[in-house]
Amino acid sequence: MQPASTIVGIDTVKKENNYLVQLDGLRFIAVTLVMIDHWLGEAVPLPFGYFGVNLFFVLSGFLITRILITSKQHDERQGRSHNHSLKAFYMRRSIRIFPIYYLTILALAVVGFPAVRENLGWLLTYTTNIWIVIHQTWLGAIDHLWSLAVEEQYYIFFPFMVFFIPNRYILPMLFGLIGFSFVLRLVLFVTNAPWMAQFVLMPTCLDAFGMGGILAYLMIYQRDRFNQLLASNGLLLGSLLLYALNLYLMKTLEPARNVVTDVTDRFFTSLFCFFLIGRAVIGFGQPVKWLLENRVSNYLGQISYGLYLFHNLVFNYYHTQPSYPTLRVWRKVASYVPALQDSLPLQFLYFYLLTVGVAVLSWHLVEKPINNLKKFFTY
């Protein structure tokens, strides 16, 4: 691995809109890890899906905090209130997230998808994570939508904190979110609360968002420190080792649900994601640079929202019934080519190509055209 550049964004930023190229590569990796977990199930011994979702959370914390702080600075330079930027933020988020989400939910309700019709109110209000905790079970092929609920709930309050807390208190506030989330998971653990509470509730995920926020704060206000911390191979490898130790303890400690799985796991996963994202902002050298910046991973990262939204509807190892259309087609093809029947890699590729196909259609026919409306809501 080549040393990272010491200047943020060299060769990784499209200057016309300050777009960080390698972050799309990380989105591609995150959504692919989730697919591996949900499609291969028990064949995968590591928590790839959990890591992928957590990578999305830290990445969201970074990008949203970066947008909010720079918008706040612009408001202050213009001498205007923050109402303009708040409106722009919520309109732009709504334009990006809501149309394809609600279109998908309503389409599933119309065709009679059981989990959707039975829980339509929870889905429409982005509260499926709360449903999961109340009922202590998953929602079948739509259970992955809990993470979207967490993000939307986070967006409800966090912009107000950034805009209306004095700038000197933003960094302590972000550390406070991390501490609060960690302590809350500890309290839930020692009081024997259901493990799903620490897994899917928004407040228990705040250390991931908080670490992403700190990354954005350092990039904007303390650029030299940002470069120093995130260009360090030692810190990146150190966070990886801590994450690996965390995984080892998860797998070896008894009982299966323990203080590592329920309390420390998200913290150390988020810490590794913090350094991973920070290095991608600066710019990985080869060969990671190629992985994150090649056209395929970059494009798949751009459509990762659709990939995430649709992948469980294509197949889920734990919930999809044998009579489901995608499995019937696979078995039909495998009847002509028997070698396919027991090939997990080829079956994974089949599901991946199906999901990409749906996500491409979604992006070009729905998401991208609607996304153009953002031009009417500039910061």
The upper half-sphere exposure of residue 271, i.e. CA atoms within 13 Å in the direction of its Cβ, equals 20
- The torsion angles phi and psi of 14, rounded to 5 degrees, stand at -85, 110
Concatenated DSSP letters for 130-179? Answer: HHHHHHTS--GGGGGGHHHHHHHHHHHHHHHHHHHS-GGGHHHHHHHHHH
Segment 296-333, tens digit of pLDDT: 999 999 999 999 999 999 999 999 999 999 999 999 99
Express each pLDDT in 152-190 by its tens digit: 999 999 999 999 999 999 999 999 999 999 999 999 999
Indicate whether 345 pLDDT > 70.
yes
For the cut 70, the answer to whether the pLDDT of residue 18 exceeds it is: no
Per-residue pLDDT at 67: 97
Q: Which band of pLDDT confidence, cut at 50, 70 and 90, is reported for residue 338?
A: confident
The string over 297-321, giving b where at least 16 C-beta atoms fall within 10 Å of a residue's C-beta and e elsewhere, is bbebbbbbbbbbbbbbbbbbeebbe
Instruction: Report the pLDDT value the prediction gives residue 374, as an integer from 0 to 100.
Output: 94
Per DSSP, the residues of 53-110 read HHHHHHHHHHHHHHHHHHHHHHHHHHT--THHHHHHHHHHHHHHHHHHHHHHHHHHHH
Q: How confident is the model at residue 19 (pLDDT cuts 50, 70, 90)?
A: confident
**The pLDDT value given to residue 8:** 43
Q: Is the model's pLDDT at 12 over the cut of 90?
A: no
Q: Inform me whether the pLDDT recorded for 17 exceeds 70.
A: no
Q: Which range has the worst mean pLDDT, 48-62, 214-228, 266-280, 326-340?
A: 326-340
| Percent with pLDDT over 90 in the chain | 89
Question: Residues 94-98: contacts with CB within 8 Å, 24+ apart?
Answer: 95/370, 95/371, 95/373, 95/374, 95/377, 96/305, 96/367, 96/371, 96/374, 97/148, 97/152, 97/305
Average pLDDT of the chain? 93
Domain ranges of the chain: 13-319
Check pLDDT > 60 for residue 1.
no
Per-residue pLDDT tens for 350-364?
Answer: 999 999 999 999 999
Closest CA to 217 of 265, 272, 161: 161
pTM of the model: 0.93
pLDDT number for residue 361: 98
Report whether pLDDT(379) > 90: no
